[in-house]
Amino acid sequence: MVAALVPGAEALVGAYRDELDPTARRGLGPHLTLVYPFVEPAAVTHATVEALRAAVAPTAPFRCTFGALRWFGSRVLWLAPDPVAPFREIADRIRRHVPGLAPEERELVPHLTVGLRRAAPLAALRAAEEALAPRLPLTVRIDRVQLMVRTETWDVGAEVLLRG
């Protein structure tokens, strides 16, 4: 998976994600998924990382504000980033420039997951929403993306900078 990790959101959502999002318990911090699936970990080569670097480098670092909480139905509580265009641009560039990736089957909805209904009762998600809403907005700088590799946990396999 290629993601934009958002360590600046940890203080805001970390405790909620620990309880409400199983990926947090497997070591994946606050993030926006950009390309999933990516290349299988065993198939990642130096050339794969260089193609990823070349695809991402033209995008300039940017500020992103999480100003609202949203829902996918009643299944997923998430923070909405603004702007979304740079995240979509990065994902599109990766899909076009990294060999072997399938085209996106649906429109990417950039989001930072707070919690999942399959991991916690709806009441816990609603309580998180109520507690987080008054603490928004949160503004962070996005200046890199990470190739995340999953084994027992999620680990950063490579990190590539946005250069613009």
pLDDT tens track for 27-57: 999 999 999 989 888 889 999 999 999 999 9
Domain count, the chain: 1
Domain range for 51 is 2-161
Query: Residue 130 is part of a domain; what is its CATH number?
Result: 3.90.1140.10
| Average pLDDT of span 147-155 | 91
Span 91-126, pLDDT tens digits? 999 999 998 887 788 889 999 999 999 999 999 999
CA dihedral of residues 37, 160, 112, 137 (deg, nearest 10): -170
The number of angstroms, rounded, from the C-alpha of 154 to the middle of its chain's C-alpha atoms is 13
The letter for the amino acid at 135 is R
Structure tokens at 146: 């990470």
Span 59-83, pLDDT tens digits? 999 999 999 999 999 999 999 999 9
